[in-house]
Structure 1
């Protein structure tokens, strides 16, 4: 019976992930080449660490494996040609504690950054963004599929790396 429940859960999770795609191949190509899109995070996966897994096992709705569901929240990274605006939670080990409680997570706006985009052989893109004017200068590595799904790895000087899965959305046009 438990195996049947697990199979149904996996099927529903895959179906929900497929429904979440926000862009088609042409739109994905256009927004990535124009550097004008938003990465919407649907889940976070901290490094496999026994301390983190012990805490996560006590959280309601825990599915195990260290995967934290962010669906229904407004966590994202907005990329435009002249800025990167990040608003993401952080789960993991920080090597220095923030002085302000509101400084948890990755919440920053960067106007000075390096942006590199490479087309992969098997389709999709590998985008690397290095911020130069933010605290801890996080490095964002975004793997994008042709269908608009993405996996974002953030590496920081003062925190363990974390991976976010999600999808790309087209930024709203300014009038």
Structure 2
């Protein structure tokens, strides 16, 4: 009896935590329609391969399929006139970089194509930077509650996805 009560309370607690919205739908709609928001990455999910899984399984607290980024400042900032990416990369690169600063998905773009499509309960946003060294496409799936998944397809690397949330861009002090 105690086990079933404990199990029921645990399920209730977890479902309560999952139903708490990150942002309300009106705020999410406002941010997306204004094209002025910040995607905060909380998890990275590299494309699965035996090599990546073997390396990532040696890191404490991570598996090859899901890397916890909580507590980091990895993000994608989107405004009407710029896209600024500061995201880590885990995966296989098809061409080597000689500059260690090029190691992640890090760029500032002023020349990009931005497409937003509203579905029933989410948005699909596609960003194609034109002034970035590597050809890449970023696709952002945003729910009404502000949860999002970002997929980055790069011509010189395996694809990678990130889970996270969107938020209002805070003015710099």
Normalised by the size of structure 1, how large is the TM-score? 0.86
C-alpha separation in 1, matches of 2:44 and 2:14:
15
Of 150, 154, 169, which residue of structure 1 is paired with 2:167? 169
The aligned counterpart of 1:24 is 24
CA contact (8 A) 2:35 2:78 kept: yes
Q: Which stretches of structure 1, 4 residues or more, deviate above 4 A after TM superposition?
A: 10-20
Aligned residues: 164
Deviation at 1:39, TM superposition (A): 0.3
The aligned counterpart of 2:3 is none
Deviation at 1:29, TM superposition (A): 0.1
Shift in CA distance, 111/17, structure 1 to aligned 2, threshold 3 Å: farther
The aligned counterpart of 2:130 is 132
Deviation at 1:172, TM superposition (A): 2.1
Deviation at 1:17, TM superposition (A): 6.5
The aligned counterpart of 1:4 is none
C-alpha separation in 1, matches of 2:17 and 2:101:
32
The aligned counterpart of 1:87 is 86
CA contact (8 A) 2:21 2:145 kept: no
Shift in CA distance, 94/125, structure 1 to aligned 2, threshold 3 Å: same
Shift in CA distance, 14/78, structure 1 to aligned 2, threshold 3 Å: farther
Shift in CA distance, 102/173, structure 1 to aligned 2, threshold 3 Å: closer
Shift in CA distance, 16/103, structure 1 to aligned 2, threshold 3 Å: farther
RMSD of aligned Cα (Å): 2.4
Normalised by the size of structure 2, how large is the TM-score? 0.87
Structure 2 alignment gaps of length 5 or more: 1-6
CA contact (8 A) 1:20 1:167 kept: no
Instruction: Note the alpha carbon deviations across 1:38-95, whole angstroms, 9 max, x for none.
Output: 0000000001111100111111112x35100000000000000000000000000001
Structure 1 alignment gaps of length 5 or more: 1-6
Deviation at 1:137, TM superposition (A): 2.5
Deviation at 1:99, TM superposition (A): 1.1
CA contact (8 A) 1:110 1:133 kept: yes
